[in-house]
């Protein structure tokens, strides 16, 4: 891996053995984009890729051949011959928004710097990555713009961010500051977004990229159920296994914008960053503003190749802490089993049954604190409700540990119910706009996390409980979007900063808690998956994927989520039937077979299951413990999409390729069906794999080329009854013969 600067041609070439990224300092000293894609040879001069054409509409430098409108750029501005949406906008005291940031200097260095107060990918050793830092300067504004580019040695990935430094005595308002912007030379792409709503997050939506602007965004204060801060462009001929695909991922949990603008010359401008809508940031003299980081991945091995890069990078160099590389405990969460209706005895009985079946961690969800008997009171009062839990969290956690289980706790630290002690004492601590009626969401208001004293207070309360109790896991929930966003602590000209300051406050609280309690496993959550984003993974290595725990819906949700996020990061539980979200009845096998591809657990009262089902649960837990290393840390392949087929399939392969597990899911039953084969991936061609469920062995090349025969009727035997039903599934376990 290397970053070279060719002085005569003024070009930077970032490359490793997978990708190349080429930037040129343009004749006007702004930065031009020459290439991002598969690795190409280095050369002294790629100037031929700077295609100036004589288009006389507008030009700069009195040169008809050079107009920014027709120039592919790195971090473009509006108003000086480029009419597309820009990467930045800076409102100045005289009302002008024009900027002219010109190359001033650069540094190339090994490793990767952290971003103050923000989540970001990192290196453990400098040799893992090289970083290019380009400093641009606007002499009229006396402002610097510093662009950071990091290329990782082993991955087809580039991480980018931007920082503004104001040196001038006048203040400015930054009203737009993207994390990345890149102009691609054509628009022959399919655009894939991951959109949905509560309980149907990250559904895969694909369409052809077209002239004009296409975008997804959030203005809800969190990254949202509705759209994910992740975007894919793939060649129309590319699929899961071959062809070119690019992924763009924002490491941020607040309002975002992910956009592609195709101009009438078929150039595609992709940009990603904090949503400029409802955003502004005032910079006084000597102050700086750092954007979040965005990661761009290029794959010429299709969508799976792209996803696997994100999986490795995010699992090992975004997630942090003690739990990063550890298999995750099998947990039981009481939420769907009890909702608010529990006391200590009930919880201990549930935990005892869980222990008998092999569960390792018991999680107490919502309802344990303050006067919380429903969702209309108590948020903000982080002390145990002694009517329900006479011994407090400390007493309960000791009882759970005495059973031989670890204990975990739910919190929703960013929120307050008007009916709470906290709100009665500090009504001004909630975000609300003067003179406007605050909108409620789930009967709660959002605490003003842009204020340090609010974050400090919440830290004090929760740290007190964690210090005195035996808590090994925290589920950190966030159950509403932000409305009437306004902070009583900031002046009028800083109100545009509050959404971003809020999320910085959330990050700071996470950082403090992780620092104080490094052994706790954090799982993020926001009404299910409203904050399943790369920003959160920096603090919490796993996230509750969705409130929809129905196995069939979960196939789609987990499939969609896997495009940008690793299997181990997806909280996935077996819940009761009929399913609480949509009333569907699926077998305990299928519920387990879906949930096992994630951070696995149960969300039901095991005591209410039949003995036969309990036996199956025990087998599931045993299986998960045996194979979770492979499932959670192996290479994951999507094989067949539930968005396109009645049969969905995915698989994981261990690092040494000696073990693989295939998840095979038939959504609706069918009759007199076609013969079916599933071509597997990632195996060693020459190894013989024993497939227990087939009672036979096959070479890796057979399984990958002729495929695994999955029609049970092909053997001439009658179909087993279980096959002949809706929502049927099977796991195939492949083990290389010695
Ligand atoms: C929303 C979460 O997604 C659920 O799992 C549960 O924790 C509830 N909140 C509790 O209020």
Averages of pLDDT over each 10 residues, the chain, 738 residues: 95 98 97 98 97 74 80 96 96 97 98 98 98 98 98 98 96 98 98 98 98 98 98 98 98 98 97 98 97 98 98 98 98 98 98 98 98 97 97 98 98 98 97 96 97 98 98 98 98 98 98 98 98 98 98 98 98 98 97 98 98 98 98 98 97 98 94 89 98 95 96 56 83 96
Please report the pLDDT score of residue 58 as a whole number: 74
547 noted as active-site residue: yes
Ligand 1 centroid to Cα of residue 286, in Å, is 43
User: Which residue lies with its CA nearest to atom 1 of ligand 1?
Assistant: 527
Please report the pLDDT score of residue 170 as a whole number: 93
Ligand 1 centroid to Cα of residue 492, in Å, is 35
The 10s digit of each residue's pLDDT in 663-674 is 999 999 988 788
What residues does ligand 1 touch, defined as CB less than 6 Å away? 335, 365-366, 410, 477, 479, 525, 527-528, 544, 547
Please report the pLDDT score of residue 306 as a whole number: 98
Backbone angles phi, psi at 593, to 5 degrees: -65, -25
Please report the pLDDT score of residue 714 as a whole number: 45
Q: If DSSP states are collapsed to H, E and C, what string results for 611-657?
A: HHHHHHHHHHHHHHHHHHHHHHHCEEEEEECCCCCCEEEEEEECCCC
686 noted as active-site residue: no
Ligand 1 centroid to Cα of residue 454, in Å, is 23
Backbone angles phi, psi at 79, to 5 degrees: 105, -5
pTM summary value: 0.97
The 10s digit of each residue's pLDDT in 575-601 is 999 999 999 999 999 999 999 999 999
Cis bond upstream, residue 578 (ω within 30): yes
Ligand 1 centroid to Cα of residue 346, in Å, is 19
Ligand 1 centroid to Cα of residue 319, in Å, is 23
Please report the pLDDT score of residue 461 as a whole number: 98
Task: Looking at the CA of residue 410, tell me the nearest atom of ligand 1.
Answer: 7
> Is 463 exposed, middle or buried, given 0-12, 13-18 or 19+ CB atoms closer than 10 A?
middle
Please report the pLDDT score of residue 720 as a whole number: 64
CB atoms within 10 A of CB 48: 8
User: Which residue lies with its CA nearest to atom 9 of ligand 1?
Assistant: 527
Q: If DSSP states are collapsed to H, E and C, what string results for 285-340?
A: CCCEEECCEEEEEEECEHHHHHHHHHHHHHHHHCCCCCCCCCCCCCEEECHHHHCC
Residue closest to 96 by CA, chosen among 60, 50, 143: 143
CB 432 within 8 A of CB 484: yes
Please report the pLDDT score of residue 374 as a whole number: 97
User: Which residue lies with its CA nearest to atom 10 of ligand 1?
Assistant: 366
User: Which residue lies with its CA nearest to atom 2 of ligand 1?
Assistant: 527
Please report the pLDDT score of residue 54 as a whole number: 72
The 10s digit of each residue's pLDDT in 630-643 is 999 999 999 999 99
Ligand 1 centroid to Cα of residue 547, in Å, is 7
Pocket test for ligand 1, best of 337, 474, 527 (most atoms within 8 A of CB): 527
Please report the pLDDT score of residue 713 as a whole number: 53
**Annotated catalytic residue: which of 477, 533, 548, 605?**
477
Pocket test for ligand 1, best of 376, 536, 544 (most atoms within 8 A of CB): 544
């Amino acid at each position: 891996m290397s970053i070279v600067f060719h002085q005569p041609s003024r070009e930077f070439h970032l490359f490793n053995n997978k990708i190349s990224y080429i930037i040129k300092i343009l004749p006007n000293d702004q930065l031009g984009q020459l290439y991002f894609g598969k690795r190409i040879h280095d050369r002294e001069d790629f100037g031929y890729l700077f295609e100036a054409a004589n288009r006389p509409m507008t030009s700069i430098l009195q040169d008809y051949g050079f107009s920014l409108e027709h120039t592919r750029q790195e971090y473009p501005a509006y108003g000086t011959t480029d009419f597309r949406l820009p990467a930045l906008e800076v409102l100045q005291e005289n009302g002008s928004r024009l900027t002219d940031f010109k190359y001033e200097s650069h540094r190339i260095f090994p490793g990767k710097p952290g971003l103050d107060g923000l989540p970001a990918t990192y290196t453990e050793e400098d040799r893992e990555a090289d970083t290019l830092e380009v400093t641009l300067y606007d002499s009229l504004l006396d402002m610097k713009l510093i662009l950071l580019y990091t290329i990782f040695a082993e991955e087809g990935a580039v991480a980018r961010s931007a920082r503004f430094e104001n040196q001038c005595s006048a203040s400015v308002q930054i009203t737009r500051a993207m994390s990345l912007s890149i102009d691609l030379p054509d628009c022959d792409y399919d655009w894939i977004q991951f959109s949905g709503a509560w309980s149907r997050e990250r559904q895969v939506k694909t369409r052809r990229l077209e002239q004009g602007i296409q975008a997804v965004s959030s203005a809800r204060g969190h990254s949202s159920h509705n759209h994910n801060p992740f975007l894919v462009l793939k060649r129309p001929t590319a699929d899961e296994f071959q062809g070119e695909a690019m992924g763009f991922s924002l490491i941020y949990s607040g309002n975002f914008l992910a956009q592609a603008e195709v101009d009438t010359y078929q150039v595609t401008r992709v940009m990603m960053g904090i949503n400029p809508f409802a955003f502004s940031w005032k910079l006084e003299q000597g102050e700086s503003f750092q954007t979040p980081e965005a990661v761009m991945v290029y794959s010429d091995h299709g969508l799976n190749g792209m996803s696997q890069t994100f999986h490795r990078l995010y699992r090992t160099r975004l997630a942090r802490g003690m739990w990063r590389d550890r298999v995750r405990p099998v947990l039981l969460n009481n939420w769907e089993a009890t909702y608010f209706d529990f006391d200590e005895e009930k919880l201990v009985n549930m935990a005892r049954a869980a222990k008998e079946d092999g569960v390792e961690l018991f999680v107490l969800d919502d309802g344990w604190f303050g006067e919380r008997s429903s969702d209309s009171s108590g948020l903000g009062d982080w002390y145990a409700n002694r009517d329900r839990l006479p011994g407090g969290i400390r007493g309960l956690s000791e009882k759970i540990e005495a059973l031989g289980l670890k204990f975990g706790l739910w919190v929703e630290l960013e929120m307050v119910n008007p009916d709470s002690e906290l709100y009665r004492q500090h009504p001004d601590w909630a975000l609300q706009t003067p003179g406007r009626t605050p909108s409620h969401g789930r009967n709660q208001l959002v605490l003003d996390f842009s204020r340090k004293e609010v974050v400090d207070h919440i830290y004090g309360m929760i740290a007190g409980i964690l210090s005195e109790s035996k808590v090994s896991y925290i589920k950190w929930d966030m159950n509403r979007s932000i409305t009437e966003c306004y902070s009583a602590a900031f002046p009028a000209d800083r109100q545009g900063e509050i959404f971003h300051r809020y999320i910085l406050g959330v990050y700071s609280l996470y950082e403090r808690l992780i620092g104080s309690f490094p052994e706790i496993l954090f799982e993020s959550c926001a009404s299910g998956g409203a904050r399943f984003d790369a920003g959160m993974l920096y603090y919490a290595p796993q996230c509750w994927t969705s409130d929809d725990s129905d196995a069939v819906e979960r196939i789609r949700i987990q499939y969609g989520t896997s495009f940008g996020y690793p299997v181990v990061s997806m909280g996935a539980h077996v819940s009761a039937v009929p399913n609480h979200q949509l009333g569907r009845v699926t077998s305990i096998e299928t519920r387990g077979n879906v949930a096992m591809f994630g951070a696995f657990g149960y969300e039901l009262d095991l005591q209410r299951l039949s003995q036969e089902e309990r036996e199956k649960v025990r087998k599931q837990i045993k299986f998960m413990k045996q194979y979770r290393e492979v499932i959670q840390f192996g290479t994951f392949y999507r094989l067949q999409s539930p968005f396109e087929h009645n049969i969905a399939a995915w698989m994981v392969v261990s690092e040494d390729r000696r073990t693989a597990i295939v998840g095979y899911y038939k959504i609706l039953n069918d009759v007199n069906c076609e013969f079916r084969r599933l071509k597997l991936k990632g195996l060693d061609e020459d190894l013989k794999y024993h497939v227990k469920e087939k009672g036979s062995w096959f070479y890796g090349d057979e399984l990958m080329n002729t495929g695994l025969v999955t029609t049970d009727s092909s053997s001439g035997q009658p179909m087993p009854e279980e096959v002949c039903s809706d929502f049927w599934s099977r796991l195939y376990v492949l083990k290389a013969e010695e």
